[in-house]
Amino acid sequence: MSKLVTIYGGSGFVGRYIARRMAKAGWRVRIAVRRPNEALFVKPYGTVGQVAPILCNIRDDASVASAMKGADAVVNCVGTFDKGGKNNFDAVQHVGAERVARLAKAEGVSNLVHISAVGADADGPSLYAKSKAQGEAAILAHFPDAVILRPSVMFGPGDGFFNRFAGMTRFGPVLPIVGADTRFQPVYVDDVAHAAEMGAKGEAAPGIYELGGPDVSTFREWMEEMLDVVQRRRLIVNIPFWIARIMGWGFDVANAITGRLFAMPISQDQVAQLGVDNVVSDDAKSFADLGITPTATEIILPEYLWRFRKDGQYADITASARNLRT
């Protein structure tokens, strides 16, 4: 019988790429999510019955244990940007991660992969960074041979970074950002999935890997590249941190009042994160240690950001027609 991997959060942005890779490698894939009916799109990643979404809540021991029953490998992709509610930073990224590692060790799982984030730091400026670091420490306490991946901001079809700001270009001549001079090292999501696949298959040495793309640029410079791809001219306006903190406080209050019914543009914690460079450390294990060559943004962005161009998929045809008229 083929081997089994349980992927917690396997229907999420990075999880679905990992699921596809594991299925292609011939593994049976169990997708553990809170709403399996909304994860049915993962089933065609493999043959009939090879990929199965199942109900799981990372805040419940019995639920997590049941999801990994008989698994050879476990991958934890569950994360959040929500500091409030039941599924907050501590519950998901600290206690939830600890629960997965503790139960994986008890189950006798061979390989554990955990998706963390560049900037995970117990003394960091944001609750997000602190909870990520606490989760890593809890995992290593129970499962010292785990493979922990710290990606920088991930890009690819369906991402929440370039898609978000490209979408904003449709609504006016100004593109506001916070932390224009903060440096980022965007990493292609499928490269991260490749690293996770290696960890799940036991092909990566245990340890913490920081994963970034081949290029490091400021937030402003990444937005300029995005604007080139979507073929729009917008004035990039940097919002000072002191103003952004006030805005974040206001949106946090709105979240509390509405019970997080609406997605707010930014939070205080995200403002704190944007004040710190999001790049791979010089002395960290990286893609080079895995034998993976990271993919550049210039190769991937045009494949999915074309829909934000004025003429969408017809932009090149329209440009060609203009040339014919002249």
Q: Cα separation of 56 and 287, whole Å?
A: 31
CA distance 37 to 20: 18
Q: Is residue 124 part of a domain?
A: yes
Q: Which of 213, 237, 212, 211 is nearest to 223 (CA)?
A: 237
List the single range of 55-59, 92-96, 283-287, 319-323 with lowest mean pLDDT. 319-323
pLDDT exceeds cutoff 80 at 318 = no
> What are phi and psi for residue 239, nearest 5 degrees?
-85, 120
Of the pLDDT bands very low, low, confident and very high (cuts 50, 70, 90), residue 117 is very high
Neighbour tally for 40: CB within 10 Å: 12
Buried b (16+ CB within 10 A) or exposed e, 92-117: bbbbbbbbbbbbbbeeebebbbbbbb
How many whole angstroms separate alpha carbon 162 and alpha carbon 225? 10
Say if 250 falls within a structural domain. no
Task: Please tell me the total count of domains within the chain.
Answer: 1
- Of residues 145 and 264, which shows the higher confidence score? 145
**pLDDT tens, 152-167?**
999 999 999 999 999 9
- The domain in which residue 282 lies consists of 4-157+186-213+278-292
pLDDT of residue 257: 85
* CATH code of residue 208: 3.40.50.720
- Residue pair 112/144 in contact (Cβ under 8 Å)? The answer is no
Helix (H, G, I), strand (E, B) or coil at 137: helix
Asked if residue 101 is part of any domain, the answer here is yes
Query: Could you read off the pLDDT of 237-276 as tens digits, one per residue?
Result: 999 999 999 999 999 898 888 876 667 789 999 999 999 9
- In degrees, rounded to 5, the angle at the alpha carbon of residue 23 between the alpha carbons of residues 208 and 117 is 25
Report yes or no: 111 and 74 within 8 Å, Cβ to Cβ. yes
**Torsion angle (degrees, nearest 10) of CA 130, 18, 105, 288:** -70
Q: Whole-structure pTM over 0.85, yes or no?
A: yes
- Does residue 150 sit within a domain? yes
What's residue 210's pLDDT? 98
Asked, for residue 265, whether it belongs to a domain, the answer is no
Question: Out of 162-176, 254-268, 302-316, which region has the weakest mean confidence (pLDDT)?
Answer: 254-268
Is 245 among the domain residues? no
With respect to residue 254, please indicate whether it lies within any of the assigned structural domains: no
* Residue 81: predicted pLDDT: 86
Which contacts qualify for 120-128: CB closer than 8 Å, 24 or more apart? 120/150, 124/276, 125/272, 125/273, 125/275, 125/276, 126/269, 126/270, 126/272, 126/273, 126/276, 127/83, 127/89, 127/269, 128/81, 128/83, 128/89, 128/93, 128/269, 128/270, 128/273
pLDDT of residue 326: 56
Strand 154-155 to strand 187-188: parallel, antiparallel, or no bridges (unpaired)? parallel
Q: The tokens of 198 are what? A: 């290696």
pLDDT digits (tens, 9 = 90+) for 176-202: 999 999 999 999 999 999 999 999 999
Looking at residue 265, its pLDDT comes to 85
Q: How far apart are CA 109 and CA 135, in angstroms?
A: 19
CA distance 310 to 292: 36
Helices (H), 122-203: 127-142, 162-168, 189-200
Q: Which residues contact 154 (CB under 8 A, 6 or more apart)?
A: 13, 14, 161, 186, 187, 188, 189, 192
**Average pLDDT rounded to a whole number, residues 139-144:** 97
Q: Are 211 and 233 in contact (CB under 8 A)?
A: no
Q: Confidence band (pLDDT; 50, 70, 90) for 169?
A: very high
Which residue bears the tokens 């139960």?
103
Amino acid 83: pLDDT: 82
Proportion of the chain above pLDDT 70, given as a percent: 95
Q: How much is the average pLDDT of 275-286?
A: 96
Residue 226 forms part of a structural domain: no
